[in-house]
Amino acid sequence: MTIVRYADRPDLRERRSLSAQVFPEFLLHHSLVHYWNRLYTDCPEFQLALLDGSEVVAEAHALPIPWDGTVAGLPEGWAAAFELGMTTDRPRSALSMLAISVSPARQGEGLGRRMLDAACDAARAQGLDAVLAAVRPTLKDRYPLTPIERYLRWRRPDGAHFDPWLRLHERAGGEIFAAAPDSLAIEAPVSDWAAWTGMSLPEEGDYVVPGMLAPLTVAAGVGRHVEPNVWVCHRLR
């Protein structure tokens, strides 16, 4: 298997579909989607694909951001980091991960770790000090009513993290820094949410939705979901 940059293989961009396969439909409708194509022109060295023959089996997307190295200096979450990376004129010192996707048929083969390592290598090659990830914990959707501040503290009896994705980051040398309870907000008419989730939402209130890490709130014909994440830092220096 070979890691390539999408910048070097523009043909791969025309058939990439891992995000649609891996992430719930509603996550593909965030308000910053208009920035996505700029990743390939503004910071192509951080858009990576893993090829098995001609098949894309995993990918990583990221962009550099300014960061002072402190927990207090972290962006509010995934959306704030994305916005910052696309708009700032300040010197950039850290790579902020946006997504690591692994083909559903290839999960469990360690490809997520391989893409994380490749992103760290790319950041190191560009002289950055750290890789930051607003991690979407793998099992949090099973516990949508549990605050992320509590979830990030859960551990197995052996001391390893309860969540497989956070566990992977820690085993790769990452440090759990902080909760990001307001990492990404998505707001849309109830009709859109019904289409995205396949659920009927007949009245106002909070709904537990498959695939969501926190409830969906419906009021006045509008649904609002605020995704919680966990900030993890991989120091490169």
Are the C-beta atoms of 90 and 109 separated by less than 8 Å?
Answer: no
Instruction: Check whether 181 has a pLDDT greater than 90.
Output: yes
Q: How far apart are CA 36 and CA 41, in angstroms?
A: 10
In a 13 Å sphere around the CA of 85, the CA atoms on its Cβ side amount to 29
Band of pLDDT at residue 31, cut at 50, 70 and 90: confident
Write the pLDDT tens digit of every residue in 201-227. Answer: 999 999 999 999 999 999 999 999 999
- pLDDT tens-digit series, residues 136-166: 999 999 999 999 999 999 999 999 999 999 9
Domain boundaries, the chain: 2-181+229-235
Domain 2-181+229-235 has CATH 3.40.190.10: no
Dihedral angle, C-alpha 153, 159, 165, 166, nearest 10 °? 40
Neighbour tally for 103: CB within 10 Å: 19
pTM over 0.75: yes
Per-residue pLDDT of 57-113, as tens digits, reads: 999 999 999 999 999 999 999 999 999 999 999 999 999 999 999 998 898 899 999
